[in-house]
């Protein structure tokens, strides 16, 4: 078990570092080529933190481990809300002032409901994946048109500030190429080592996706949200989670169905229920009362306690 465990840790480290460098290079290259800053922010930067989930799910599906791919998508959403948002709110209470966040929360609720209905029959098919990808395209168009309307919003300006400036095109291209090579390679080793560990402990493909892989691939969201909160960018901290969860359901989940459609582990209904409950909880707290939306340390503690309880239930079911 020593070699698979070391491989898993090293693969996570390389995957997360490469994802960050790839986003840096891709966004700098797009800016040098004249792409509108808001478009870069809404695509490359906003979705960059979900790159590990996307690569891992793709490699899992290629290995005929669709349950791992689905577990990664669902588990990452649960982890983002209960662990990432919980830890962030514990460190510093978060105030939500962005109108776009309050618009995107109902969208996340809608997408969560659609994805849950599609998985209700216990199968992830290519039709299901096609529906999710279509919704993703609609969501991207909606965000772009909204941003072009020119309505001032704190999250939009924070997102554009994340785009690197004064980066040589040659440097940007170097990071893009490095990412295209190292991201698939590190995710391949990560999935293989995770499968070995799962077999050793008698864990199902679904459980390994919900636990080790989901937590590991959510580390970029954790780092980004805590950094945003410490800098006083509360909307960015929460928006990072909302955007990542939408991307996980519409793209990461769809990858498994596109590559290897298959029946799912019946236990997935438990995790769908937890994801829905966590999303509703975040939605209620984010909307707030009388337009005063704030996530307190007490709320963060509830999120974190819920995550610990959920992980305990999963591990006891092995």
97 or 87: which leads in pLDDT = 87
150 or 268: which leads in pLDDT = 268
285 or 136: which leads in pLDDT = 136
98 or 88: which leads in pLDDT = 88
Q: Which long-range contacts (CB under 8 A, 24 or more apart) does 271-275 make?
A: 271/71, 271/74, 271/75, 271/78, 271/206, 271/210, 272/74, 272/116, 272/119, 272/120, 274/78, 274/310, 275/74, 275/77, 275/78, 275/112, 275/116
Q: What mean pLDDT value characterizes the chain?
A: 84
DSSP-assigned beta bridge partners for residue 295: 94
In the prediction, which pLDDT does 118 show? 95
Judge whether residue 247 has pLDDT over 50.
yes
In the prediction, which pLDDT does 289 show? 47
How many other CB atoms are there within 10 angstroms of residue 223's CB atom? 15
Judge whether residue 159 has pLDDT over 70.
no
Burial of 79-117, coded b for 16+ CB within 10 Å and e otherwise, reads bbbbbbbbbbbbebbbbbebbbbbebbeebeebbebbbe
What distance in Å separates the CA atoms of residue 204 and residue 176, rounded to the nearest whole number?
35
Judge whether residue 151 has pLDDT over 70.
no
- The pTM (predicted TM-score) of the whole model is 0.85
Residues in the chain, overall count: 318
CA atoms 129, 133, 136, 142: torsion sign: negative
In the prediction, which pLDDT does 100 show? 61
Instruction: Characterise 145 by phi-psi region: left (phi > 0), alpha (psi -120 to 50), beta (else).
Output: alpha
| Residue 160 CA: distances (Å) to CA of 95, 154, 165, 280 | 20, 10, 11, 29
Structural domains of the chain, ranges and CATH numbers in brackets: 49-161+188-316 (1.20.1420.30)
Helix axes 99-119, 154-161, angle to 10 degrees: 80
Average pLDDT for 211-237:
80
In the prediction, which pLDDT does 46 show? 60
| 260-303 pLDDT, tens digit each | 999 999 999 999 999 999 999 988 887 664 555 678 889 999 99
Judge whether residue 45 has pLDDT over 80.
no
């Amino acid at each position: 078990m020593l070699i698979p465990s070391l491989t898993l840790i090293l693969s996570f480290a390389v995957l997360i570092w490469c994802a960050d460098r790839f986003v840096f290079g891709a966004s700098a290259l797009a800016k040098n080529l004249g792409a509108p800053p808001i478009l870069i922010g809404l695509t490359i930067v906003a979705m960059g933190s979900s790159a590990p989930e996307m690569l891992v799910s793709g490699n899992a599906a290629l290995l005929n481990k669709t349950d791992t791919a689905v577990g990664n998508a669902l588990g990452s959403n649960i982890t983002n809300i209960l662990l990432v948002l919980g830890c962030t709110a514990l460190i510093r209470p978060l105030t939500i002032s962005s109108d776009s966040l309050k618009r995107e929360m109902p969208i996340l609720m809608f997408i969560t409901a659609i994805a849950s209905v599609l998985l209700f029959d216990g199968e992830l098919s290519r039709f299901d994946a096609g529906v999710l990808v279509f919704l993703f395209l609609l969501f991207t168009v909606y965000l772009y048109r909204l941003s072009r309307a020119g309505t001032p919003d704190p999250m939009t300006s924070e997102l554009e500030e994340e785009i690197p400036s004064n980066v040589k095109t040659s440097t940007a291209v170097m990071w893009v190429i490095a990412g295209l090579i190292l991201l698939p390679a590190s995710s391949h080793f990560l999935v293989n080592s995770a499968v070995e560990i799962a077999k050793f402990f008698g864990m199902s493909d679904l459980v390994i996706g919900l636990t080790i892989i989901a937590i590991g691939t959510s580390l970029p969201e954790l780092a980004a949200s805590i950094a945003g909160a410490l800098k006083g960018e509360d909307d960015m901290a929460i928006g990072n989670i909302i955007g990542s969860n939408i991307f996980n359901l519409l793209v990461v989940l769809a990858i498994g169905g596109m590559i290897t459609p298959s029946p799912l582990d019946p236990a997935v209904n438990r995790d769908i229920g937890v994801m829905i409950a966590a999303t509703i909880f975040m939605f209620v707290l984010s909307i707030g009362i009388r337009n005063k939306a704030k996530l307190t340390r007490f709320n963060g503690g509830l999120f974190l306690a819920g995550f610990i309880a959920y992980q305990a239930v999963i591990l006891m079911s092995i």
